[in-house]
Structure 1
Amino acid sequence: MEQNRSAAAGRTEPAWHRSKVIVALLAAMLGVFGAHWWYLGRPRAWMVTLASCVLIVLAQFYPVWWDNPPFLLLIVPVTAGFIEALVFSLKPDAWFDARYNAGSGKTTRTGWGPVLIAIFTTLLGSSVMLFGIALIVMHVYKALGWLDGYVL
């Protein structure tokens, strides 16, 4: 975590006051790349970004980019992003401040923003998850030969 040192007080403070709403939005929209981890200053954020980018690049080597194991594995970071968006949206402001804004001197007051983000995330996340599960089931059934003779 990037910190500024206050010479007068002799204590460390976060470089900026992080917003719970921004974290939730980043997790919901760009969670597959770990954008919210970068915003929070987590030390291993690059691993999530690298893994997602590698899976996307590997998916391009298949004749059908959406029906292959690397693309189907992307459902894991996508789901993690949606779950973290819900967690950040629905946790109390005091919890978020204690964990990510300790020593900033400001308090987070979010109001209805996180609730609306949680509703949006639930709708979008459940749709994406159902689509991903359907693709995985079709891929497995096709690989096992259970759909031989059926036209998809």
Structure 2
Amino acid sequence: MNSTDISAGATALGAEAATQGGPVPHRGKLAVAVLAALLGVVGGHWWYLRRRWAWLFTAVSCVLIVLAARSPVWWDNPPFLLLFIPLTEGFIESLIFSLKPDEKFDARYNPGSGRRTATRWGPILVAILVTLVGSAVVIFGISLAIMHIYIAMGWLDGFVL
């Protein structure tokens, strides 16, 4: 599937939405990037973009949050550690949306809206911030997972610094 197939499909979706009654909403690239960075763990940007399986993404994240909260030590159990996967996905998608050219973003997410996205420095600043914060959070999550595995397997028993 090439980019013309994708943009043709997106245009067809926009035309279908326009024929169903109301105006086609214009989605902002900066809003998607910020939502992905802040609410990516529960799929907030998926709902904003009206992706098909947004409910499943949110449901899985909410189940993991509930399971982590029910544990006496919520930060040291597998459900909490698994939450780093959707969190990382949110950071990565925030970078992708921030750095995607406006024309490609409009062709995919704003067909038939009648407006063009004209971003300036906002998405670039979001990308810089997400790179700094996201990399620290992802490295922290990896180190927590490794420590959890090492302790659970007994590899650190008797280890003294």
Q: Under a length normalisation based on structure 2, what TM-score does the superposition of the two structures give?
A: 0.85
- Cα RMSD after superposing both structures: 2.0
Contact 1:13/1:102 (8 A) holds in 2: no
**Equivalent residue, structure 2, for 1:134:** 143
The structural deviation recorded for 1:115 is: 0.2
Instruction: Say which structure is richer in helix.
Output: 2
- Count residues in correspondence: 147
Question: Is residue 19 of structure 2 the alignment partner of residue 5 of structure 1?
Answer: yes
Aligned to 1:65: 74
Percent sequence identity is: 62
Deviations 1:39-82 (A, max 9, x none): 01111101111101100111123221000000000011000000
Residue 151 of structure 1: CA displacement? Answer: 6.8
- Counterpart contact for 2:30–2:122, Cα < 8 Å: yes
1:40-59 aligned at under 5 Å gives the runs 40-59=49-68
Match of 2:5 in 1: none
Give the CA deviation at 1:5: 2.7
| Aligned pair partner of 1:121 in 97, 108, 130 | 130
Q: How far is the alpha carbon of 1:105 from its aligned partner?
A: 1.2
Alignment of 1:20-59 (within 5 A): 20-59=29-68
Judging changes above 3 Å, is the alpha-carbon distance between structure 1 residues 65 and 46 closer, same or farther for their aligned structure 2 residues? Answer: same
Matched residue of 2:62: which SS?
A: helix
Whole-Å Cα distance in 2 between the matches of residues 101 and 115 of structure 1?
20
Greater percentage in strand: 1
SS at match of 2:70: coil
* Distance in 1 (alpha carbons) for counterparts of 2:113 and 2:18: 11
Cα pair 2:18 2:112 within 8 Å, conserved: no
The answer to whether the 8 A contact 1:85-1:118 is kept is yes
In 2 relative to 1, CA 94–55 (structure 1 residues): closer, same or farther, beyond 3 Å? same
Is 2:117 the partner of 1:108? yes
